[in-house]
Chains A and B, each alone.
Chain A
Amino acid sequence: MYRIGRNGGVVTRHIISIGDFDRRQIDRLLDNAKRIDAQKYDRDALSGKILATLFFEPSTRTRMSFEAAIARLGGTSISVGSVEACSMAKGETLADTIRVVSGYADAIVIRHPKEGAARLAAQFAGVPVINAGDGAGQHPSQTLLDLYTIRQSMKLDDIHIALVGDLRYGRTAHSLASALSLYDARLHTISPKGLELPGSLQAELTEKGIQITEHDSLQEVIPEVDVIYVTRIQRERFPDSASYFNVASSYRITPELLSPAKKHAIVLHPLPRVDEIDPRVDALPHAKYFEQSRNGVPVRMAMLLQVMQ
């Protein structure tokens, strides 16, 4: 589950990638999150502990939910106001920043534009590091809360899940697909041309025994699946606004589109959404994306307890 670092003989636990977890470890963490969700937890479990949130990229949900998570466990958080205000803007290396912040806090949550930044941080930190997204790389807390949200509605085993949208650059979809390979899920992918699941990831998933079916249209896949996982298609991937709107509209989730969906099927989205989901879907029982966002707190509380206790 963790990358184990040894600093002065003390074992430090980090959460860097969902790939570091096995199924048993994921299940245990989700069980802990469920207990926390049911208010069965010690509100002073992390009393006196300090969490440093180092976000070198914008974040709303991830940062706030980590701050809420440490507060609910009796601890406090510290952070730099903005990247411009921090010493890295003066040319300090991330390694030095991490070593310095390790002296101020009991754990570090980091988001950074460079892939592998969290692994580097774990190398230099004397305290646990949690990866909150490193460029196009990993974002394990998002994957864990995605799994947790699915598990609230159904067992994780053998589900059919549709991954919709930008599957080339969408790190949340990649990590979720990898994690679901531990549960024998069936993947259905629907994405615009050029934004398909990377071939290397497809090969890796197939090797793990996961079945992947590519679809041309959302209509054909909706009646088949248990989970519809929607990701944002970014405008900057297209040469002009017209071609973006043209493509984006054909991947939009609407109540009409969902009418043949299974009764228990759920719609997830890591948020923020732009045009991918019609606001009228919000009122349907299928819509679980705000619940998914809320689940960030108990799941991140479970993660903090795992590394800080």
Chain B
Amino acid sequence: MDTKILIAVENLYRYYGHHLAVDAISFELAQGEVLGFLGPNGAGKSTTMQMITGNLAPSAGRIAINGIDLLDRPRLAKAEIGYLPEQPPVYPDLTVLEYLGYCTRLHRVSKGKRDQAVTRAMQRCGLDGVGKRLIGNLSKGYQQRVGIAQAIVHNPAVVILDEPTVGLDPNQIRDIRGLIRELGESHGIILSTHILPEVQATCTRVQIIHRGRLVFSESMQTLQQRLSGTSLVLETAAPLDTAILQQLPGIGSVEALGERRARVHFNDANPAAAVAACVDTHGWGLVELALDRQTLEQVFVELTCSEVDAEAAA
């Protein structure tokens, strides 16, 4: 696969007064990647994004967008970026069409292609039919979509979205996630969010930032493998006998969770079939048999809470 590096960030630091908000963050984003940025509130996600988009100057470090240094040649570099900040930067007094037209002009889309670019962005963000309405009169969800449309209207190489699904209803969230995946095929995307399932649903890589430092960076594939569970949760209609389960091949230990529930730990291969057959032969009546995955949430909590606790204790 041709992996073109779209964003290269090296040793990025950012101080607010004496407070170190971003501490030596380095990462790369290749074309076709959707990078999920996770972290607790105040971890430095937004600050990092603001630095990549040129809204904040880094205290130290290098940022290159599509090979162009952001600090040396900001205009060229910024032309490659589409950015949706936490609050969509929309003017309530303008109609959607006026606003997106203005955005294309700001981003130097050539005159003949402007209308086409606006139409396409509106289509992709589900804004058909609201083009002539004032942005101020639209609902929060639609304003958010206008914000996303603004970020992609000039077809940038990199799209940076800071919490894009805030304020959307579940259907809209699904649409936006679909859009992000679709965009991810041809662009590089950085997505920050608090919603962990969103990351699992859309991202190809996950980074967790905690206290300004990058504490976790894995591709989604590796993560899935890491997360794939080593235990099964079993529930039956009739009371079950853990001793019988214990004797099945490939089973490490069986932990009773109640009369009718048990957790089955296994070593290598998933023994679900054998467990199901065993339940069947003993006539316990299978109610539930599920692979217990470690969730991203657990990883997240593990990485971001331990230090807080340690500090609180100290």
Partners in one complex: no
Interface residues of A (CB under 8 A from B): none
Interface residues of B (CB under 8 A from A): none
